[in-house]
Structure 1
Amino acid sequence: MTKLNFHKQNFFKNTYCIFKAVDLQWIQDKTPDFTSRSGSQYFYTNDGVYRFSSHWGRAATCRWRLQTETSTFQNGAKVGFAKWTDFYKDNEVEKLYFVKKSEFTHKYEYFHKNEPSYKDEYVLRTAGDTRKVLRQLKTITTETKWAKYIPHDDLEDVRNYLINGLITSNKTLPELRRDYNS
């Protein structure tokens, strides 16, 4: 499969991207090349795009996340930069996404199969199936009441088994629970 080349005329149509947070100074005193109806501002460069926005995640037909450590923002808005090569096609029907623990946030997040961090051990899923797995992972990692239905001696061992199974197999959560002690 050939990678689509994204640029200022098409990056905003059905794409996935992780923007890296940058300091507000990168866009200060610059005029945006485009301002969306929701107020997000875009500044184009030869290498990529700066986005100044108060909302990240779903943006129209796109899945755009902001990777940030900084608290630099203005009225709740933050600036992110993405290279044109950081954009990947997105849709609801193809198996484009995998789940792994982010080295950056240390939480389970979804990533695109064309990202360099993809490994064959990860199961690819559609966007809807990926959201379902992420909800299950959140429950497994933040709650304990689910564990009373699985005979075990070590909660962390059960968690790790279920998490690994959800990320690297097509087994459902009920199947993994049944298989734990067998």
Structure 2
Amino acid sequence: MKLNYHKQNFFKNTYCVFKAVDLELLTDKRPNFTSKSGSKYFYTDEGVYRISSHWGRAATCRWRLQTDDSTARNGAKAGFANWTSFYKDNDVEKLYFIQKSEFTHKYEYFHRNEPSYTTAYILRTAAETRKVLQQLKTITTETKWAKYIPHDDLEDLRNYLINGLITTNKKLPELRRSYND
């Protein structure tokens, strides 16, 4: 069952990806709420605008901002999310899957209730997801790990490991061993 989020509950244990907006949209507006850390919130019938210098973990929430640096001023960035874009978050349920973001072209985590989820992706807890994301970062940005795996094509090896990590429950050592099988 999907919870209905609104201005009184969206900030309690939720996951959301906010879309970047120009700070100028909110210049003349008074925030409905300002947090202790200085984040400003502006409520609408459709959703919420947030101006903040910190994204990612926000209190009990996982909120990410899809942005490029051109939308920032003095470190503060503005984003908007529809109320329907908020999903429940906790550390015990398998709520997250990993895929390559169409926006950043990096591997990121997403909530199972997002429209892009398919059963091809493995669901994991937040802690398991963080571990796999760290492994993916190493695989995609470094090469020294590859010298321990016999291969003729680094990109083929990378693709094999990445696909295995995001679509199976196999651990990285098992995937490494099975590459040449």
**Structure 1, gaps ≥5 residues long:** none
Deviation string, structure 1 residues 67-123 (Cα, Å, up to 9, x no partner)? 013513232101100000000000000000000000000000000000000011000
- 2:42 alignment partner in structure 1: 43
Structure 1 residues 124-173: Cα deviation after superposition (integer angstroms, max 9, x where no partner): 00000000000000000011111111111111111000000000000000
* The 10-residue stretch of structure 1 (62-71 or 116-125) with the greater mean CA deviation from structure 2: 62-71
Aligned to 2:106: 107
Do 1:21 and 1:70's aligned partners in 2 also have CA atoms closer than 8 Å? no
Q: 3-state DSSP class of the match of 1:71?
A: helix
Cα distance in 2 for partners of 1:26, 1:84 equals 19
RMSD: 0.7
Partner residue of 2:6?
Answer: 7
- C-alpha distance in structure 1 between counterparts of 2:26 and 2:151, whole Å: 54
Aligned to 1:175: 174
String of CA shifts for 1:15-40, please: whole Å, max 9, x gaps.
00000000112211111000000000
1:15-34 to 2 correspondences below 5 Å: 15-34=14-33
Secondary structure at 1:147 match in 2: helix
Question: Which residue does the alignment assign to 1:74?
Answer: 73
**Counterpart in the other structure of 2:142:** 143
**Runs ≥4 residues deviating over 4 A:** none
1:64: which partner in 2? 63
2:176 partner SS: helix
What code does the residue aligned with 1:56 have?
W
Moved more, 108-117 or 20-29: 20-29
Distance 2:75 2:153 in 1: 42
Residue 161 of structure 2 aligns with which residue?
162
1:19 is paired with a residue whose SS is: strand
Unaligned runs of 5+ in 2: none
Structure 1 length as normaliser, TM-score? 0.98
